[in-house]
């Protein structure tokens, strides 16, 4: 019997937010939720936010910036990172705190960036750190999506590659990936233990990323089973991790929803 419940708000991501079928699924989220929407610009994000709030006005909609390299890393062109910073400095709702996701992943979908990115790697890494440090002053709350520091990717290597910024003195929230459906069965326990390792370091407030409810841009990824998502939720709750993020909204269905609701506080069941 697990007495611990999922902490609210829950986080959901959406990589295809213009899809009308995905938009309708926002109505299923009848509990406190932060929904990160992928958008190429702040202007596009504001447009999408209005659409989603029309469907579900109780959602908190947050921005997930997308780059030409798709994900953010020091291999991302510095001018793109500078554009994000300037957009945030000029954002319309200056008094409103904007939540923003830094999806810190290597550019596997655009492998050419591994080569051209070597010429500006250090500059882009400094700009990402600058963005995180400036965030609080410009009323932006940073969430980072990060790889789990498993046996093949040591924590120090993640810092060198600019895929985590734990040594910065400023605060931000981490979402550490535990997508067990995307790896063979034998590696799933390694992933879970790696996430526990990251959580026990307690350097930042941390959410665990569970999935995949639907594939992302790498369209060969497997969906998690209903049994699998419950197993993962129970595993982390039992060990004290109660903050969850789910990828992605487009894959949410009644079966997944029933499992998630089962572990919410009683007034949301």
154: buried, middle or exposed (CB in 10 Å: 19+, 13-18, 0-12)? exposed
What does the chain come to in residues?
A: 269
Q: How far apart are CA 261 and CA 51, in angstroms?
A: 25
Return the C-alpha torsion angle 190, 188, 16, 102, nearest 10: -10
170: helix, coil or strand? coil
Residue pLDDT, tens place only, 88-128: 988 766 668 999 999 999 999 999 999 999 999 999 999 99
Residue pLDDT, tens place only, 153-179: 577 889 999 999 988 988 899 999 999
Q: Residue ranges per domain, the chain?
A: 10-268
Write the class of the CATH domain 10-268: alpha beta
According to DSSP, the residues that pair with 14 across neighbouring strands are 37
- CA 152 from chain centre, in angstroms, equals 21
Q: How far apart are CA 130 and CA 124, in angstroms?
A: 10
Beta-carbon count within 10 A of 228 CB = 17
Judge if the upstream peptide bond of residue 248 is cis by omega within 30 degrees of 0: yes
The chain-wide mean pLDDT, for the chain, equals 92
**Section 184-191 average pLDDT:** 84
129: buried, middle or exposed (CB in 10 Å: 19+, 13-18, 0-12)? middle
Where is average pLDDT lowest: 1-5, 41-45, 131-135? 1-5
């Amino acid at each position: 019997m697990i007495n611990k419940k999922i902490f609210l708000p829950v986080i959901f991501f959406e990589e295809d937010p213009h899809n009308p079928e995905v938009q309708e699924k926002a109505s299923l989220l009848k509990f406190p939720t932060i929904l990160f929407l992928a958008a190429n610009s702040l202007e596009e994000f504001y447009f999408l936010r209005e659409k989603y709030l029309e469907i579900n006005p109780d959602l908190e909609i947050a921005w997930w910036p997308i780059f030409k390299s798709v994900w953010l890393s020091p291999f991302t062109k510095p001018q793109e990172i500078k554009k994000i910073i300037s957009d945030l400095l000029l954002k319309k709702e200056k008094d409103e705190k904007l939540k923003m996701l830094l999806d810190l992943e290597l550019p596997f979908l655009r492998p050419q960036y591994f080569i051209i990115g070597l010429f500006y790697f250090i500059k882009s890494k400094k700009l990402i750190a600058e963005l995180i440090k400036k965030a609080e002053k410009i009323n932006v709350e940073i969430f980072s999506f990060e790889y789990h520091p498993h046996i093949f990717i040591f924590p120090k290597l993640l810092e060198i590659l600019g895929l985590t910024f734990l040594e910065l003195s400023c605060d931000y929230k981490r979402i550490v990936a535990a997508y067990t459906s995307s790896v063979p069965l034998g590696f799933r326990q390694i992933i879970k233990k790696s996430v526990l390792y990251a959580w026990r370091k307690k350097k930042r407030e941390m959410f665990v990323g569970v999935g995949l409810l639907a594939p992302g841009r790498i369209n060969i990824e497997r969906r998690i089973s209903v049994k699998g998502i419950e197993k993962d939720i129970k595993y982390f709750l039992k060990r004290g991790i109660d903050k969850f993020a789910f990828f992605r909204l487009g894959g949410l269905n009644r079966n997944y929803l029933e499992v998630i609701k089962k572990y919410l506080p009683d007034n949301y069941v």
